[in-house]
A and B are shown apart, each in its own frame.
Chain A
Amino acid sequence: MRKVFLTVLVVLLGVFGWAQGDKLKACWIYVGPVGDYGWSHAHDQGRIAAAKALPWLETQYVESVPEAQAEAYMDRLVKQGCQVIFATSFGYMDSVLAAAKKHPNVIFAHATGFKRAPNVATYMADFYQLYYLNGLMAGALTKSNKVGYVGAFPIPELKRHISAFALGVRAVNPDAKVLVRWIYEWYNPAAAKEATEALIADGADVFAFTEDSPTVIQVAAEKGLPSFSHYSPMQRFAPDYVVSGQLVHWDKIYIDFLSKVYAGVYTPKNLQNVDYWWLLPQGAVELGGKFGEPINPKFIPVLKAKVVDHPVFGKISVYDLVMKELALMKDDELAFDPFQGPVKDRHGKLRVPAGLRMTKQQLESMEWAAPGVAGPWPNEPK
């Protein structure tokens, strides 16, 4: 009897072990709750899509992990058998490197970071191209020539996005201004609401934002004013007032990365130079406030009616301009770029010389403001 039992146990263990060996376990650490409809939510959607697409993938996640506790959580995930760990907040950077040193056989990937190691890769899906296109539409829609922007923190990522947005606004409406207000929080609906009210009081009539809730959209819609969705498909919060926006597809990066780990292309020894900076061509980002719909059909007629004199395309409607430049950027990163020189900052200083573009490093550390940006801009270079 005992022998039978032992045999069964051994066979079971064998089967289980084999099944385990064939799987890859990837784990995610989120800084916010997965239901926040912002950053962590989007990463979790990527995780779910990757798990669906890759039958050999097993996933696990922990949400709302404070940045100071990230390392302890990573240790725990390693103990629970995670072979790949995605750390999805900028603030996890040093914890990721410390954990990676402790666990040299585990693969780490850090979103938005810039520090790498043999077993630490970095990745980012960036929106600056889309912000420029949103800016084109905002510039065409504003009647007061004041576009409102509610920003979370004055960090390079937002400065890059707001500047790209302002360049778009100015490309179709040289008189327009982008009024910026900061709320100094990633998620604070009350602050976002008051900031939007303040912008409305100052005369802004079209809105864009970087904050993890649909507050700006809702407040603008109450007053009948158009806005642009940010990050998640927020068009459904105001289907008549959201013009377009930016959407992310983290799953594209996750599937690519995990497939390469599974195939043995990426190992814990060769990630030193693995840095994903994925934009439109790779399909990591999408234009729109709703998946599969780049511009809300309700706004197409007015955008088609607004014709501008473009230096390259001549007389062209804003709608056609957006679609044309979207196609160009999707097709080939080199065909068109919002920060195509010459670009001056708002004080008239030349920042990108004619014929040049900004490098990834320059984009990631950008502090200056594009012409048309109005409002406080901490750390602005002279």
Chain B
Amino acid sequence: MEDLVWTTLIRALAFGTPILLAGLGEIFAERSGVVNLGVEGMMALGALAAFAVAQSTGLPLLGLAAAVLAGAVAAALFAVAAVSLRANQYVAGLALTMLGLGLAGLLGKPFEGAPLAHTLSETSLMALALLLALALWFVLRHTYWGLVLRSAGENPETVDAMGINVFSVRYAAVVFGGAMAGLAGAFLSLAYRPSWADGITSGLGWIAVALAIFASWHPLRAVVAALFFGALYHLSYRLQAQVTPELLKAMPYLFVVLVLSLSALGRGPSGAPEALGTPYERGERR
């Protein structure tokens, strides 16, 4: 029993790391008022960039940097459409997911099945994710820039009135979110399962989007949520003989629906940014 708890915790941490990283990024983007459903696509691009660079240079840390860059560039592309051009954020995000997955699959052909000589350790990235969660919570909660970011998501008009450019704030948040999704991808292709293959993200990006909501956009609650989702995932294999695996795997989504329903009833933590999903336009009244 003790062994079951211990191994489940370890595995929950490992599996929780990519969804925590990407989820933290999504929390930042959404806190600034932009829903980016392109997490899955950015994660795939990050995973490929990390693997391609690490494999050809032999330097996994350079791969990590490449992943961050790839995710950020993809997110910037999304931001042009969703922030500057005020396109529908949901549609633009879905497009980014499809584009990212397709592009990564296409460009990744030469790397399929290639071995990786130098990998990163799961543990160090797990620790990094936990530290990042703590740091991001601090930034969001206790710094001026955190306040500005949150305001951009709650009441962009006020931010604008303060003389701060809402677009720049949102760009920064979205690009940062992309960088985090790229990092999550790098964890997959350099540490979790060092290799590249089309479809390596297998839906983790969507769990990260769900995580942002489940954690009610709070970086520290995101850690708990990631552990919880990770534990459910591990247990769906561990307890396969006792519990239907489909049920355990559907849990993350079930819980998201539950949290959303509870907050709609006004009984649970919600914290959804007021202006979430609404493109900002100067001088327009809501």
Contacts and interface: CB of A to CB of B under 8 A. Distances in A.
Interface stretch (A6-14, A167-175, A194-202, A359-367): A194-202
A249 interface: no
Contacts of A375: 240-241
A36 B112 CA distance: 7
B200 A194 contact: no
A201 B5 CA distance: 11
A202 B240 CA distance: 12
B20 interface: no
B15 A194 contact: yes
Contacts of B202: 185, 188-191
Given A201-B238, A214-B195, A218-B193, A33 B204 contact: no
Contacts of A199: 237
A181 B240 contact: yes
A193 B105 CA distance: 21
Contacts of A201: 3-4, 7, 11, 238
B193 A193 contact: yes
B198 interface: yes
Interface residues of B, number: 32
B109 interface: yes
A35 B240 contact: no
B137 interface: no
B115 interface: yes
Contacts of B193: 189-190, 193, 215, 218-219
Contacts, number: 85
Contacts of B246: 184
B240 A36 contact: no
Contact of A198 (B194, B200, B237): B237
B199 interface: yes
A233 B8 CA distance: 32
A206 to B, nearest CB: 18
B15 A198 contact: no
A187 B195 contact: no
Interface string B37-69: 000000000000000000000000000000000
B192 interface: yes
Given A189-B197, A198-B237, A37 B11 contact: no
29 contacts: A35-B108, A35-B109, A35-B112, A36-B112, A37-B197, A181-B237, A181-B240, A184-B245, A188-B202, A189-B195, A189-B197, A189-B200, A189-B202, A190-B193, A193-B192, A194-B234, A197-B7, A197-B11, A197-B14, A197-B234, A197-B237, A198-B11, A198-B237, A214-B195, A218-B194, A219-B193, A374-B241, A375-B241, A376-B241
Interface of B: 3-4, 7, 11, 14-15, 105, 108-109, 112-113, 115, 188, 192-195, 197-200, 202, 204, 233-234, 236-238, 240-241, 245-246
Given A33-B198, A189-B195, 19 more contacts: A33-B112, A35-B197, A35-B198, A181-B240, A182-B245, A183-B237, A184-B245, A187-B199, A189-B193, A189-B202, A194-B11, A194-B233, A194-B237, A197-B234, A197-B237, A198-B234, A198-B237, A213-B197, A237-B195
